[in-house]
Amino acid sequence: MCGIVGYVGNKVAQSVLLVGLEKLEYRGYDSAGIATIHHGELGVRKKEGKLRQLADLLASQPLGGTIGIGHTRWATHGEPSDRNAHPHTDGDDRLAIVHNGVIENYLQLREELERAGHVFKSETDSEVVAHLLADYLSDGLPPQRALLATYSRLDGYFALAVVSEHFPDTVYAVRQGPPLVIGLGEGENFLASDTNALLRFTRRVVFVEDGQVVELTRDRVTVIDREAQPVELAVREIKLDDQDLDKGDYAHYMLKEIFEQPRLLGDIFVSRVANHRDIAFANLGLTPQELNSVSRVVIQAAGTSWHAGLVGKYLLEHYVRLHVEVDVSSEFRYRNPVLGGDTIVMAISQSGETADTLAGIREAKSKFIKVISLVNVEGSTIDRESDGVLHLMAGPEIGVASTKAFTAQLIALVLLAMHWGRLKYAIDDDAVRKVLRELEQIPAKMERILEQNDALRRLAAEFADAKDFFFIGRGYNYPTALEGALKLKEISYIHATGYPAGELKHGPIALIESDTPVVAICNAGPTYAKTMSNVAEVRARGGRIIVLATEGDTEVGRTADHVIFIPPVIDELSPLLTVVPLQLLAYHVAVLRGCDVDRPRNLAKSVTVE
Ligand code: AGP
């Protein structure tokens, strides 16, 4: 939702903070700002718009000092504007805070503070923290105690960082919900919402837990818990390199991440599969006996990860013969689900910080249900709070529109289904070997689809002005249709909807008129004939039809206006291939429409508020 950074050391804080914010901009880009302490004085610069606007302001009005905090915002309370940009200061402008999350009781706190004479400068929820903390400090509480006292008054989710003239050599921070990571340097120390902002400076990190208060100086890092007891630092080494965060020669991170998929899936296959038989999972969190006793799985996730969960349902039912339900996280955590002893919950998340999904995990654990999570970001909150974790190994995904994480989720689900199906004797070694051999060929087949990139760019040009788009599919490719629609709508802003192809005649077909674009996924398989009859229904009403078909299909050209061919693949693995043209189509339409592909409006990469 937002990105926060902090620095104290021997470098010019402004430069370090801007580098960090640039790596976090994918978390929100409605406004940005920094605050530093220079010669004991607080300075603040903040600006509506993307980080570029702040950098331009700082070029003309730089801030000195080797200690500071920074923020890049995804607006929740108060429209994007200069005055609602973070950092926010107290009434005396001696203290500044940056905040990621939501203070749910801010109105009550604001009224209380205004009655006590505080004057607010913004419409945000975050500003109450600056005034509250200033009050506790002026009451004589030492900074860590003042922060704990402030923390105890706040309801909601927050990762906060603070600098002040009261403590000119120290950055303080507190975490309750959204992530916060300490970066350990030599003669300098860092804070950030995630490790992407730290890679340029250090690989040694400490993940801050909920309820912990951090005190950072250039030479010392101390952490205390809610009871003000010191906490031992669990230092971890980040494996990623900063160049993993670079988009290289690609115009956008999204395009780079689409083209990374073949290599990535090949690497994942090699690292997890041996002899086309043995599948390695380091930490599933359940013993083979426990896995064997499970008969029901509830998958909960959001957005693209939810679509992967829907594919996972088909895979786990087909290969493991489990009962599988799939919920969007924001529904799961409020429906008081019936979860019994034979049930586990599976969370799927790229970021590992999605508040809805995290809340779902906590709901499951409150009912003593084991949780296995498929997560891309190691050390993320979902990673650390799950009983078992299957890391996606997709590397940092910077583009807000998820692509490589989706296919990495799919391959993880296929491998889990093979492993689990064999454990439960629902699938034999020969069948597993057959699927694994098919899976091993996916990267090369993906490469063949990516070779159609120019053709897809030309196709996108024919539809860049469309107002509505339909995506339809059946079985394993009903979720793919949903995913294709989400990709297009979230980066091109065209109204796009995915439907089960069989559902069109139950209402949606009323929307089809002359030239309405419809993408139909008609790969060779058990649902081909039925989906082609749905295509005919659309055609009869004047729709413009783009069909994804299997190479060698000579029938489809009679009905479709455009055909995108994919290599032959077993139906169970087909989403790994059918999604790729849809990713490229969405990408090129968005580029042709002049949209900000990597940072689409109103969105953020990691939705850390409910
Ligand atoms: C996908 O393209 C979107 N950016 C969004 O729907 C995303 O999948 C969703 O917010 C879930 O994120 P997560 O996988 O990090 O939990």
- The DSSP code sequence of 18-87 is HHHHHHHGGG--SEEEEEEEETTEEEEEEEESSHHHHHHHHHHS----SEEEEEEE--SSS-SSTTTSSP
CA 268 to centroid of ligand 1, rounded, Å: 21
- Give yes or no for residue 268 having a pLDDT over 90: yes
Residue extent(s) of CATH 3.40.50.10490 domains in the chain: 245-593
Q: What is the pLDDT of residues 541-561, one digit of tens each?
A: 999 999 999 999 999 999 899
The packing angle between helices 477-492 and 575-592, to 10°, is 20
Rounded percentage of the chain residues whose pLDDT exceeds 70: 99
Q: What is the pLDDT of residues 496-530, one digit of tens each?
A: 999 999 999 999 999 999 999 999 999 999 999 99
Q: What is the pLDDT of residues 101-114, one digit of tens each?
A: 889 999 999 999 99
Nearest atom, ligand 1, residue 354 CA: 16
Q: How many residues does the chain have?
A: 610
CA 266 to centroid of ligand 1, rounded, Å: 23
2 in active site: yes
489 in active site: no
Whether omega before 581 lies within 30 degrees of 0, making that bond cis, reads no
271 pairs with which residues across the strands? none
CA 336 to centroid of ligand 1, rounded, Å: 23
Sheet holding 88-89, edge to edge: 88-89, 95-103, 156-164, 167-176, 212-216, 221-224
CA 400 to centroid of ligand 1, rounded, Å: 8
Nearest CA to ligand 1 atom 4: 401
- Give yes or no for residue 583 having a pLDDT over 70: yes
Nearest atom, ligand 1, residue 351 CA: 15
Q: Which of 242, 190, 180 is nearest to 216 (CA)?
A: 190
Residue 79: its pLDDT value, please? 85
Q: Which of 26, 305, 606 to mutate to test the pocket of ligand 1 (most atoms within 8 A of CB)?
A: 305
Q: Which of 400, 404, 346, 403 is nearest to 371 (CA)?
A: 346
Nearest CA to ligand 1 atom 6: 303
- Give yes or no for residue 238 having a pLDDT over 90: no
Q: Per-residue confidence at 239, pLDDT binned at 50, 70, 90?
A: confident
Coil/strand/helix, residue 89: strand
Nearest atom, ligand 1, residue 603 CA: 4
State the catalytic residue, choosing from 2, 256, 313, 595.
Answer: 2
Q: What is the mean pLDDT of residues 402-427?
A: 97
DSSP letters for 211-264: TEEEEE-SS-EEEE-TTS-B----EEE----GGGG--TT-SSHHHHHHHHHHHH
Nearest CA to ligand 1 atom 16: 349
Give the binding-site residues of ligand 1, using a 6 Å CB cut-off. 302-305, 349-351, 354, 357, 400-402, 486, 490, 606-607
Nearest CA to ligand 1 atom 7: 303
State the catalytic residue, choosing from 23, 404, 445, 605.
Answer: 605
Domain 245-593 CATH assignment equals 3.40.50.10490 = yes
Q: Per-residue confidence at 242, pLDDT binned at 50, 70, 90?
A: low
What's the CA gap between 16 and 20, in Å, rounded?
A: 6
Q: Which of 74, 354, 403 to mutate to test the pocket of ligand 1 (most atoms within 8 A of CB)?
A: 354
Nearest atom, ligand 1, residue 400 CA: 4
CA 109 to centroid of ligand 1, rounded, Å: 32
Residue 399: its pLDDT value, please? 92
Coil/strand/helix, residue 147: helix
Q: CB under 8 Å to 472, separation ≥6 — which residues?
A: 481, 498, 499, 500, 501, 504, 518, 519, 520, 521, 531, 534
Nearest atom, ligand 1, residue 405 CA: 14
Q: Both tokens of residue 122?
A: 């913004």
Residue 196: its pLDDT value, please? 85
CA 200 to centroid of ligand 1, rounded, Å: 26
Q: Are 541 and 526 in contact (CB under 8 A)?
A: no
What's the CA gap between 350 and 541, in Å, rounded?
A: 39
- Give yes or no for residue 195 having a pLDDT over 80: yes
Nearest CA to ligand 1 atom 10: 303
Nearest atom, ligand 1, residue 357 CA: 16
What's the CA gap between 4 and 24, in Å, rounded?
A: 8
What's the CA gap between 419 and 141, in Å, rounded?
A: 56
What's the CA gap between 358 and 378, in Å, rounded?
A: 15
Q: Which of 196, 299, 304 to mutate to test the pocket of ligand 1 (most atoms within 8 A of CB)?
A: 304
Residue extent(s) of CATH 3.60.20.10 domains in the chain: 3-240
What's the CA gap between 499 and 63, in Å, rounded?
A: 53
Q: Per-residue confidence at 1, pLDDT binned at 50, 70, 90?
A: low
The residue with tokens 């979720």 is 479
- Give yes or no for residue 248 having a pLDDT over 90: no
CA 152 to centroid of ligand 1, rounded, Å: 31
What's the CA gap between 553 and 510, in Å, rounded?
A: 29
CA 433 to centroid of ligand 1, rounded, Å: 32
CA 558 to centroid of ligand 1, rounded, Å: 37
CA distances from 117 to 103, 151, 276 (A): 21, 21, 71
- Give yes or no for residue 585 having a pLDDT over 90: yes
Q: Which of 326, 329, 350 to mutate to test the pocket of ligand 1 (most atoms within 8 A of CB)?
A: 350
Rounded percentage of the chain residues whose pLDDT exceeds 90: 84
Residue 305: its pLDDT value, please? 98
Enter the CATH code of domain 3-240: 3.60.20.10
Residue 30: its pLDDT value, please? 87
- Give yes or no for residue 77 having a pLDDT over 90: no
DSSP letters for 395-433: ----SSS--HHHHHHHHHHHHHHHHHHHHTTSS-HHHHH
What integer best gives the mean pLDDT of the chain?
94
Query: 549: which DSSP letter?
Result: E
Q: Which of 239, 248, 260 is nearest to 404 (CA)?
A: 260
DSSP letters for 554-597: -SGGGT-SEEEEE----GGGTHHHHHHHHHHHHHHHHHHTT--S
Nearest atom, ligand 1, residue 606 CA: 15
**Amino acid present at 436:** L
237 pairs with which residues across the strands? 204
Q: CB under 8 Å to 401, separation ≥6 — which residues?
A: 254, 487, 490, 491, 586, 597, 600
Q: Are 158 and 103 in contact (CB under 8 A)?
A: yes
